[in-house]
Amino acid sequence: MGLLTGLRNSIARMTTSLFSGGQQQRRIGIYGPPNAGKTTLANRIARDWTGDAVGPESHIPHETRRARRKEDIEIERNGKSVSIDIVDTPGVATKVDYTEFLEHDMEEDDAVRRSREATEGVAEAMHWLREDVDGVIYVLDAAEDPFTQVNTMLVGIIESQDLPVLIFANKIDLDEASVQRINNAFPQHETVPLSALEGDNMDEVYDKIAEYFG
């Protein structure tokens, strides 16, 4: 997304906020490291409330290499309705090495291309974070160590932007999942356990989205 496009979008949202008599539309970015289940969550939310999907899911890292947006999602909870756009962003990593794709039986040319696209996707995700989101859902794999440079950096940037943020501890269906480990890593933020794949605890997920972003 270019600077002029971002500026036009920001002005459009401000105009809508000032002159619209309806509810303000909030743009919520779904962030986190690769393979945390961001697209699975985005698809779960979109399908539950619109019947549509956001994008393809894969066990291969960096399947999402461009931000994808699903607009006009109306979530109704406890007599209250919240209207959001969700932005499924590429997984953020400090380095994207093409050799990791070779482990998934890719040809070298395809692996190099994918790593280049993934690197560009990281830059795009950071632009969205600094310019074009009103709140953040930060998705972590509860079976992995949350104490990483990427997670510390991203949560710090989100806090510096003064954005409302929910941390989702995903993949609680796995035996090695530990929600407490994520609580310990980021005690300053509320952590919501879920399995986007299995649909576990989605009622609480929607309650919290309505509470934080409504």
pLDDT at residue number 65: 60
pLDDT at 100 over 60: yes
Fold of 25-213: Rossmann fold (3.40.50)
pLDDT at 19 over 50: no
User: What is the percentage of the chain residues whose pLDDT exceeds 70?
Assistant: 83
Question: What number of CA atoms fall less than 13 Å from residue 12's CA on the CB side?
Answer: 10
pTM of the model: 0.80
pLDDT at residue number 85: 95
pLDDT at residue number 97: 65
- In which band, very low, low, confident or very high, does the pLDDT at 57 lie, cut at 50, 70 and 90? confident
**Which of 25-29, 113-117, 202-206 holds the top average pLDDT?**
202-206
**Mean pLDDT (whole number) for 2-28:** 55
pLDDT at 84 over 90: yes
* Residue ranges of domains in the chain: 25-213
pLDDT at 156 over 90: yes
pLDDT at 108 over 50: yes
